[in-house]
Structure 1
Amino acid sequence: MTMGDPAAAGFDLSQLSLVLLAGSLVLVVAVAAVRLATHSGLPTLLLYLAIGLALGREGLGIPFDSEQMAQVLGYCALVLILVEGGLTTRWSSIRASVAPALALSTVGVLVSVAVVAVALHQILDTDWRISLLIGAILASTDAAAVFSVLRVVPLPRRLSGMLEAESGFNDAPVVMLVTALSLQIAHPADAEPWWAIGLLAIAELTGGALIGLAIGWLGGKLMQRLAQGTSGLFSLGVMSIGVLAYAAAATVHTSGFIACYLAALVLGNMHLSHRQSVTGFAEALGWLAQIGLFVMLGMLARPSGIVEEIPRAIVVGLVLLLVARPLSVLVSLTPFGVPWREQAFLSWAGLRGAVPVVLATVPVTTSVPGVEWVFDLVFMLVVIFTLVQAPLLPWVARRLRVTEPALATGVVVESVPLEQLGAEMLEVAVVPGSRLAGVEVYELRLPRGANVSLVVRDEATFVPDAHTRLLTGDRLLVVTPGALREATEARFRAVSRAGRLAGWRTDV
């Protein structure tokens, strides 16, 4: 084969132009879809899936029917999404939720799989092995879908942390469970006993976790020594360490997904330089991975095939939403004393997203016979129940009274002086019902070194003085030393709940 041989050229410049044209148009439409999703209350995943369906075999006719390619690209996208999730998650926000989230990601997964499998077998007369396989495929939740419709509904740190940690932890055991079940069904003669598979799963998860923690810590130390580099190269290096953790763990046959998430979580909490650049770069790659993933899955689906699965998808989805998820939450979280209101919200907030659809390709690629319909079932279930659950999430949160009156969030600001000073900027909203309204700035009694630097009121902005009275609807920009961020956030939450007497009265 020579470079000048036309037959050897599988891809030329004219094709490159068409691919770049189509790809850039898809990205522009996908970015515009975010605005539509924000106004409609629907997760962007549905819009991206719709774009994929429009481009696919029964739409514009772009051919894409390789489950093997979809699985490989899907895993690549999931690695980037998990790394982005780890880098942007603060340990302080999930620390109190780690144990409950681990219970949801293990015991809760097993409960959900069992309930769905029983329902499929008893109601739809599905083979036991296939029923268990579908139950495992549907066991993973997607926090990205939840938070895309909850941006305007602030949740308590414990609740949001539980959702974040669960989504970060549960992908790894679910992927292993689906793969094990698929291989058991496809090659029963070579199947290992269940107790051996269980021990192997524990070993792989433990090994992946240790590898991820080690690579994250060592990589963070290395990046601290390289901090004088440009922010762009630094961000690329940090993301590469997360991907390295996945590759290293998978190479030695441990869980790459748990490794990359934990490595990124360690990196994101090591107070590295260029934090805002790293966060912005990670979020951009995460968005790109999500867009590409959902558009690809939409192209893989056949509208005629998924429509046939609507009745079965509704039955399985109702079992998952009304029985399996609530029961898994109840069994997993009751020992931790989680209030029933929070358990009810977590039951409704168990949205399914990309992971189940990607995992639905695993049985096909492992040669499980007669399961081509499973992808269509899972795809249709995700679409229907996202349409049912997502728009109601803000209403459910308010009805269950699990919202936080005011929430301090980090503002993504590219500011070298702030980094050099070790300072961070917070945005605090004075929402209706918050007792911050009516409080004067000096009455906040923020930690020494933290200051309200700017108030945004209606269309005006001004620098407050000590006697500026806060009003409902105000947005505050607060500059605080990095070491005092948690104390500053805690003080705002306390005043929001109890007013100016927070800290003086013994009952608040």
Structure 2
Amino acid sequence: MDLYFVLVGCVILICILLNRFLDKLAIPSLLFFILLGMLLGENGILGVVFNDYQIAEMICSTSLIFIMFFGGFGTNLKVAKPVIIKSIVLSTLGVLLTALLVAGFVYYVLDLSWLQSLLIGSVISSTDATSVFNILRSRHLSLKYGTDSLLEIESGSNDPVSYMLTISVIMIMTGQNISLPVMIFQQIIFGLLCGCCIGKIIVKILNEVHVNESYENTVIIFASSIITYAFSNLIGGNGYLSVYICGIILGNSYIPHKKDMVHFYETLTKMAQVLIFFLLGLLVTPSELPEVIIPAILIMIFLTFVARPLSISVLLGMFRSPLRQTAVVSWAGLRGVASIVFAIYAVLYQVDLPFDLFNLVFCIVLFSLSIQGSLLPWISKKCHMINPQVDILRTFNDYQEDNDMCFVKMKIGPNHHFKNLKLKDINADDLLVILIARDHQTLIPNGDTEILEGDLLVLAAKKFENRENIRLDETHIHSSHKWKDKLVKDISLPAKQLIIMIQRNHQSIIPNGTTPILENDILVTIETQDEI
């Protein structure tokens, strides 16, 4: 057990340390952790034997709760409104049609029974939202016609449908006495009601119960996602559907400290995805894969080039969607975490199949991520679907909070170039003086307001967003530092580096060229990595 903890800890460290590098790879970064798990696993360099499907299912199912919740929490319904109907059609009828087409292919080509074929079709019928949007976000790809929002909602909401199909087929194959219509009704209705009710209750609690620290609200959200999933399952609903709906309600409602929650869940889900993919790589035995390679390749080819495109063409054709949008949506049907988790369910129920379903689905997911995932940006570009004028982050609920106005203060000294000017005479685009503090009074200015010496101006400006290509560093000025007792203008810095702040005696100083640098100062410098 200690060895497993060491491996998981090392994988998380690798994820953090290599984050920027992995996002720039041509292949989806999550694929790296599958390969890492295989490299360290039973046939790898460390020979770690991990074959406990029960533990794997528990960890993966728990991680999937938070992934599904954040999928809903991050969905911006205002932006996605024009494509909601399309998305729901694809996530329901699209999943069903894909499952049936794949089942028919497996039945006739691989010569399996109809139920065995339907099980395989059901397990791989859903798409993986995390993989798609990991690619779109890391490549800053915003797609035309609201296609990014369409993919987000479709991928986020089709896992519950695939889950219901999988469980229904498993129940029939294992001879359990159930009423299929009743079970599906309970799964959908109870799942929707549970997600809506708990979501509304949590919103009310967060807005009426004032907490001392922002992290307490985050803990409440964390607990609510667990409660929603578990309670829905207890009453016969679909836990994943409930969690997704609860996330949508919370994410699209006003709740205090939402930005902190977004950052927490973004980190949590990323770690959950990494853990799942590493664990699945560790769980698989590479020496057993050759016996399912041929069926996996055949199913992958049919799924990618026939089943998914055909179902998408039929359903989007009803909405008269552009052909290039249909092409990109068809290609963006990546398989991922949910498909493998559902395959583990089938293994645990000891469903009779001529080959290992986990290994089969593992290979399909591996091919999907490596081929479809790697080529998605290229396909989008070739179809002229990339919209460079729009930010992909607009489809996420954290976008509005992360792009709020930024407020800064400015003290008018005796030599300030704003002194004795009227606001209308100041040429400063995208900068607005919203408040002036003068002689213990607060003034709401207009264009004729004159700026006087001693005024404290509060200004509003758009917050800078492209932080990925900048780096902040701190430099401590010790007694023998070469910059000690020099003026800022006398320091030679690289062309892309600038001193933006000096911390001195618990105060922050915005420097200019004549600002002296003293012993024990802490200089904050900014450096650009690439073009901004």
> Shorter chain as normaliser: what TM range?
0.7 to 0.9
The CA distance in 1 between the partners of 2:497 and 2:321, in whole Å, is: 42
Q: Confirm whether residue 295 of structure 1 aligns to residue 278 of structure 2.
A: yes
| 1:69-128 CA-partner distances (Å, limit 9, x unpaired) | 222221111101111222222221322222111111111111111111111121221222
Alignment of 1:72-91 (within 5 A): 72-91=58-77
Higher helix residue share: 1
AA partner of residue 343 (structure 1): T
1:39 to partner: Cα distance: 2.3
Alignment of 1:151-300 (within 5 A): 151=137, 152=139, 153-156=141-144, 158-187=146-175, 190-192=176-178, 196-300=179-283
| 1:195-224 CA-partner distances (Å, limit 9, x unpaired) | x41453133212211110111111011011
The CA distance in 2 between the partners of 1:171 and 1:71, in whole Å, is: 16
1:453 to partner: Cα distance: 5.6
1:68 to partner: Cα distance: 2.2
Q: Confirm whether residue 50 of structure 1 aligns to residue 35 of structure 2.
A: yes
Judged with a 3 Å threshold, the aligned counterparts in structure 2 of structure 1 residues 272 and 239 are, in CA distance, closer, same or farther, namely same
Q: What SS does the corresponding residue of 1:103 show, helix, strand or coil? A: helix
Q: Confirm whether residue 310 of structure 1 aligns to residue 296 of structure 2.
A: no
Alignment of 1:393-408 (within 5 A): 393-408=376-391
Judged with a 3 Å threshold, the aligned counterparts in structure 2 of structure 1 residues 135 and 230 are, in CA distance, closer, same or farther, namely same
Partner of 2:103: 117
Judged with a 3 Å threshold, the aligned counterparts in structure 2 of structure 1 residues 19 and 204 are, in CA distance, closer, same or farther, namely closer
Partner of 2:404: 424
Partner of 1:96: 82
Tell me if structure 2 keeps the 8 A contact 1:83–1:264. yes
The CA distance in 2 between the partners of 1:137 and 1:455, in whole Å, is: 39
| 1:398-450 CA-partner distances (Å, limit 9, x unpaired) | 111111122244699x9xxx98xx98259xxxxxxxxxxxxx99699xxxx98
1:333 to partner: Cα distance: 1.9
AA partner of residue 215 (structure 1): I
The CA distance in 2 between the partners of 1:455 and 1:221, in whole Å, is: 31
The CA distance in 1 between the partners of 2:163 and 2:340, in whole Å, is: 12
TM-score using structure 2 length = 0.73
Tell me if structure 2 keeps the 8 A contact 1:108–1:331. no
The CA distance in 2 between the partners of 1:54 and 1:369, in whole Å, is: 30
Judged with a 3 Å threshold, the aligned counterparts in structure 2 of structure 1 residues 227 and 306 are, in CA distance, closer, same or farther, namely farther
Percent of pairs identical after alignment? 29
The CA distance in 2 between the partners of 1:425 and 1:410, in whole Å, is: 16
Alignment of 1:325-344 (within 5 A): 325-344=308-327
Higher strand residue share: 2
The CA distance in 1 between the partners of 2:277 and 2:113, in whole Å, is: 29
1:314 to partner: Cα distance: 0.9
The CA distance in 1 between the partners of 2:58 and 2:355, in whole Å, is: 18
| 1:171-210 CA-partner distances (Å, limit 9, x unpaired) | 11111111111121121xx455xxx414531332122111
The CA distance in 2 between the partners of 1:365 and 1:27, in whole Å, is: 28
Q: What SS does the corresponding residue of 1:40 show, helix, strand or coil? A: coil
The one of 98, 114, 117 equivalent to 1:128 is 114
Judged with a 3 Å threshold, the aligned counterparts in structure 2 of structure 1 residues 443 and 323 are, in CA distance, closer, same or farther, namely same
1:44 to partner: Cα distance: 2.1
1:146 to partner: Cα distance: 1.2
Q: Confirm whether residue 28 of structure 1 aligns to residue 13 of structure 2.
A: yes
TM-score using structure 1 length = 0.77
AA partner of residue 53 (structure 1): M
| 1:247-297 CA-partner distances (Å, limit 9, x unpaired) | 111110101101011111111111211121111111111012111111111
The CA distance in 2 between the partners of 1:387 and 1:454, in whole Å, is: 34
Deviates more, 1:344-353 or 1:27-36: 27-36
AA partner of residue 33 (structure 2): Y
Judged with a 3 Å threshold, the aligned counterparts in structure 2 of structure 1 residues 162 and 450 are, in CA distance, closer, same or farther, namely farther
Q: What SS does the corresponding residue of 2:404 show, helix, strand or coil? A: strand
Flag structure 1 segments of 5+ consecutive residues without an equivalent: 1-14, 427-439, 463-472, 476-508
The CA distance in 2 between the partners of 1:336 and 1:411, in whole Å, is: 21
Judged with a 3 Å threshold, the aligned counterparts in structure 2 of structure 1 residues 227 and 459 are, in CA distance, closer, same or farther, namely farther
Q: Please, what is the CA RMSD of the aligned residues?
A: 3.2
The CA distance in 2 between the partners of 1:411 and 1:404, in whole Å, is: 13
The CA distance in 1 between the partners of 2:264 and 2:245, in whole Å, is: 18
Q: What SS does the corresponding residue of 2:35 show, helix, strand or coil? A: helix
The CA distance in 2 between the partners of 1:142 and 1:41, in whole Å, is: 18
Q: What SS does the corresponding residue of 1:238 show, helix, strand or coil? A: helix
Q: What SS does the corresponding residue of 1:245 show, helix, strand or coil? A: helix
1:452 to partner: Cα distance: 4.0
1:158 to partner: Cα distance: 1.8
The CA distance in 2 between the partners of 1:133 and 1:141, in whole Å, is: 16
Judged with a 3 Å threshold, the aligned counterparts in structure 2 of structure 1 residues 275 and 322 are, in CA distance, closer, same or farther, namely same
Tell me if structure 1 keeps the 8 A contact 2:192–2:241. yes
Partner of 2:49: 63
Deviates more, 1:353-362 or 1:121-130: 121-130
Tell me if structure 2 keeps the 8 A contact 1:220–1:272. yes
Aligned residue pairs, count? 425
The CA distance in 1 between the partners of 2:236 and 2:110, in whole Å, is: 36
1:242 to partner: Cα distance: 1.8
| 1:314-369 CA-partner distances (Å, limit 9, x unpaired) | 11001000111011112222222322211110000000011111111122211212
Q: What SS does the corresponding residue of 1:360 show, helix, strand or coil? A: helix
| 1:467-499 CA-partner distances (Å, limit 9, x unpaired) | xxxxxx986xxxxxxxxxxxxxxxxxxxxxxxx
The CA distance in 2 between the partners of 1:388 and 1:150, in whole Å, is: 15
Tell me if structure 2 keeps the 8 A contact 1:79–1:257. yes
Deviates more, 1:88-97 or 1:387-396: 88-97
- Rg larger in structure: 2
The CA distance in 2 between the partners of 1:307 and 1:229, in whole Å, is: 57
1:41 to partner: Cα distance: 2.1
Tell me if structure 2 keeps the 8 A contact 1:121–1:127. yes
